[in-house]
């Protein structure tokens, strides 16, 4: 295993999951309760937008990681999460299907309360990312 691959694996966020919301599997990033509460307190009661970037990192050997960067227009909040696409492909499939991303704390009741939902403004970007991820998961020959 290369040093770079090991470094990426060490940075992978553990709280990646999906849950059923309105009969659709919805991708969710679980974050530390204190961080979650602090983030919500900064934007609560305000109108704001969230820029969502998906930066795809691949090595040509079937290892794919996606850096999800959320930049809030208010509250000076930027969050980054590294996701191993090989082990969490269903997360990206549901992201492409729903164009929604949920943030929650460990104490949230998925699909019911204390879940922060983000609507992606350009659904085609999530589908394009899924296509790139699926293609990159196939190791390329070294011929």
For 37-57, the pLDDT digits (tens) are 999 899 988 899 999 999 999
Are residues 129 and 96 in contact, defined by beta-carbon separation less than 8 angstroms? yes
pLDDT tens by residue, 94-122: 999 999 999 999 877 665 567 899 999 88
Output the pTM of the full model. 0.90
What is the C-alpha to C-alpha distance for residues 31 and 106, in angstroms, rounded to an integer?
Answer: 7
Distance of CA 36 to the CA centre of its chain: 15
What is the C-alpha to C-alpha distance for residues 102 and 104, in angstroms, rounded to an integer?
Answer: 6
Are residues 127 and 133 in contact, defined by beta-carbon separation less than 8 angstroms? no
């Amino acid at each position: 295993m290369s040093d770079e691959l090991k470094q990426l694996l060490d940075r992978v966020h553990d709280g990646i999951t999906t849950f059923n919301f309105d009969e659709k599997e919805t991708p969710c990033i679980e974050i530390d309760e204190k961080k979650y509460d602090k983030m919500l307190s900064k934007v609560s009661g305000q109108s704001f937008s969230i820029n969502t970037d998906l930066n795809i990192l691949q090595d040509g050997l079937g290892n794919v990681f996606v850096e999800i960067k959320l930049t809030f227009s208010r509250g000076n909040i930027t969050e980054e999460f590294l996701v191993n696409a090989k082990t969490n492909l269903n997360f990206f499939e549901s992201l492409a299907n729903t164009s929604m991303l949920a943030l929650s704390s460990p104490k949230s009741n998925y699909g019911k309360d204390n879940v922060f939902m983000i609507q992606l403004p350009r659904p085609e970007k999530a589908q394009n990312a899924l296509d790139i991820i699926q293609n990159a998961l196939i190791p390329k020959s070294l011929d």
